Amino acid sequence: MADYRVFRGDQLLGTLTRTGGEMFWEEGDFVPAPGFEAVRPLFDRERTLLDADRIDEWCAAWDELAEGLRLEPLDGREPITEFLLHIDGDAKRATWRY
């Protein structure tokens, strides 16, 4: 069962299911919803810049991507709006922290 729904504005991007994690970072499965395809390039760019250690450019890319982004816990807790989320290029694995 998924732990979170990922939204950007009113658009459902997908669900996150925690499978593990290490020191501050959670990791798990990401199941994209149809709305994810519209923002996939933003996630791909964010990850490429981070992996290339181009931090100034990454910050700008993250700010663009994070506009309206939120995690909605499925256990009834309040939505989370301050977090980092990286989705692998195949859109099946993710890491996040809040």
Average pLDDT over residues 15-32: 93
What span, in angstroms and rounded, lies between the C-alpha atoms of 98 and 26?
Answer: 9
> 40: pLDDT confidence band, cut at 50, 70 and 90?
very high
The Cβ of residue 63 has, within 10 Å, a number of other Cβ atoms equal to: 10
Whether residue 44 is predicted with pLDDT greater than 80 in this model: the reply is yes
Nearest alpha carbon to residue 69 among 27, 26, 11, 17? 11
pLDDT digits (tens, 9 = 90+) for 59-91: 999 999 999 999 999 999 999 999 999 998 777
Cα angle 20, 59, 24 (rounded to 5 degrees) comes to 25
Nearest alpha carbon to residue 27 among 77, 88, 72? 88
